[in-house]
Structure 1
Amino acid sequence: MTYGENCALKCGFCLAGLGCDTVSGACAEGCDTGYQGFYCNEKCMAMTYGENCALKCGHCLTGSGCDSVSGACAEGCDPGYQGFYCNEICNNKTFGRNCSGICGHCRNDTACVPFSGSCDSGCEAGYKGLTCTETCGLCRENTDCDQFNGTCLNGCQDGYQGEICNETCNIGYYGEDCHLRCYEHCAESTSMTMTTCHHVTGECLIGCKDGWIGKHCETACFNGTFGKNCAWKCNEWCAGESQKCDPRDGLCINGCIPGFSGSHCNMYCDQGSYGERCLKSCEKCFLKDCHHITGHCAHSEPLCEDGYRGEKCDKECEPCTFGPDCRYNCSNQCFNGKCILESKDIKDDTSQRDNKEFFEDFLPIIGGVVSPFLIILTIITAYRIGKCCKRPKRRPHN
């Protein structure tokens, strides 16, 4: 395996180790795989390999070249290629170095560019970015957005806003293009960062203001209810039909039924008044007090003031009568139905006449009861006197 003067030179890499010409050093059958040149002592040039360096290397990483003998890429394949010789393009929707990447959501389910992962056909609806792996904002009806800046081409879904539709509506708004205001009867939050209604549906998030119910707090309390969640009943003494009080605070809308007062109709009329709005007076009652509804005077003796009569003391005395409850008669001093004397004189005269009439009426009765007792008493007295005064008979002398 030597040649030249004194056989001092070593043959190159002749094919199959057959040796070289002993004079010139040329390999008679050519070079071994991976070598080239007259003496077969030169490795294949970069990016070639094999017998006579006739084969071209595959897509070795960053052009690093392959093994001159086997053709294997020492540092692996460029992105988008695979296989022993790095000459096979990635398949099955993979890409990148060693085909380890998975293609994104390319339009029409096509494969991506094997070395970059980009979608030449564009992205499916709802996706964006070079590799179509980023989701668009909440575009209306999940339609397309710009593949590179993410702008929704047909606007945002209800409840969202912004160029890429990833922002919820401002506080107090909801719905399509965030143009709708939350219902005015939604309860208000004490937090400045919390909206009163859901940004999509408009439903009130923390309930309703007093007097309202429903998902959107659009229905006022009814059937005689009021307050938070319409949980309270209007006072039964509120006047009117059906909804008798303010749905927010229970104030009686139509006032009170006769006999009651106050904004909620929860108080009786003050003493001395009764009836509708407590405007009627019972001042002619002797005690200045009466039933708050009927006006009937509180029980007393007498019931009414001078000159009045009836359960409510609202009737004047009939002709020729006067005094408390009209109990006195002035027929002897009456002219055209009116008493002539002062009421005091008539009362005194009436009182004297009443006493006289009493004795005239009851004297015969007294006499009839007392007389028999007097007669019996007289007989008993006479008998005792006679018995005491009667002398005893003397005995005859012997």
Structure 2
Amino acid sequence: MSQLGLDQQITPPRLARHINITTVSRTQHYMVLCEVKIFETDCPNGTYGDGCAGNCRHCKGGFQQFDHIYGTCNMGCETGFVGLLCVHSCNISFYGENCTERCGNCLNGSRCNLKNGSCPGGCSPSFLGVYCNQTCLSGQYGPGCVNRCSGNCFNTETCNGITGVCLNGCAPGYDYNRDAKCGATCTNGSYGQNCSAKCGHCLDGPICDNLSGKCSDGCERGYKGGTCNEICANKTFGYNCEGHCHCNYESEQCDVISGNCSSGCANGWIGLNCSTSCTAGSYGHKCKDSCSGNCLNGETCHFTTGECSTGCAPGYDYTRDDHCQTACDDYSYGQNCSSRCGHCLVDAVCDKISGNCPSGGCKMGYSGSRCDQICTDNTFGYNCEGLCHCNNISEQCNVTNGDCSSGCAIGWAGNNCSKDMILTAPARKLSTAPEAKVARVLSRG
């Protein structure tokens, strides 16, 4: 029980709507109060409420701007806090005045600075900037975007900005199973998409271009093509199938490595791989046959058949023998035996190349080396050596016997008008008359 005039201090101050004053005596059941006075007091700065148990920390404007009884902030909360009492910080993804700004991409999902939104611990992979709200440029990835994509993603896609992985696989030539970032080329003799194709028969072993599969130094014997996966065919063999074999059996493919023909070589070819043709002047099986030597213009015959492909030299019959070993029939000569002999004496056979008659000469009425020129200009007889003188000066006497149908010219006689009567007449005195002399001269002339 308090004494008259005693001040009872309540420390710390208490909030109250009414005060109960009771006695603590167990025997006295009443109490006399003469006067009760209640004095109001404030909580110390930064506290509020019953017993000043509440703390005000984040009011805008400081301690002066909060209610010391209820703890509310008169001007609202300082940046980064919300609620009537401003005791709740922003949600982990927000910051700023009234927590309305969204944080960027802080490393490992950490909270951004409540006041300015910066990421004190750095940015998540694929983001950069003070606020970690800028993404990496295409082709970059990882923390700070300092890593470069491999550039080998499928269809030239860019890699994942966080991990650098090519999400849809690698471009041909790169092994996704070994490196999802597509920095590893195909190995172990493989190439192409997902390194699923195998290198062919490259000259240097199963090492080919990882992208295309091409063999840079060519193929081993028996194979061809850019990837060296095509076996030799169509009578080819050897390195890159550049050798050509010629087997005796038309349907046979020689050994693709050596070129050996089990049936032997075709006509016109010799050698271990039947790839060497006969030398000029020979032909046929194992090149044992010789050309005739009678091909046109001295050309050699074909090395497989012996044929003279452009025809025969004059004197040989190409229509009957394309090897040009058959001479023209008697009484024919020249190119393809197309010309007939002339009128050789006693039906002699002319030369089968030139058509010239033997040294005996020509039949009566013909002249020339081939005896194919009929006598002209008043000539007749053997080789046109006779000279006739017909009365009609325009007449050509018979080329065989020299007979003149118009008779002989004055001063000439005989069956062929070739006998000079003046030279054969007896000597006699000629007239000295001028008229007679002129007439005689005219008859001779």
TM-score (norm 1): 0.44
TM-score (norm 2): 0.40
Structure (1/2) with the larger helix percentage? 1
Larger Rg: 1 or 2?
2
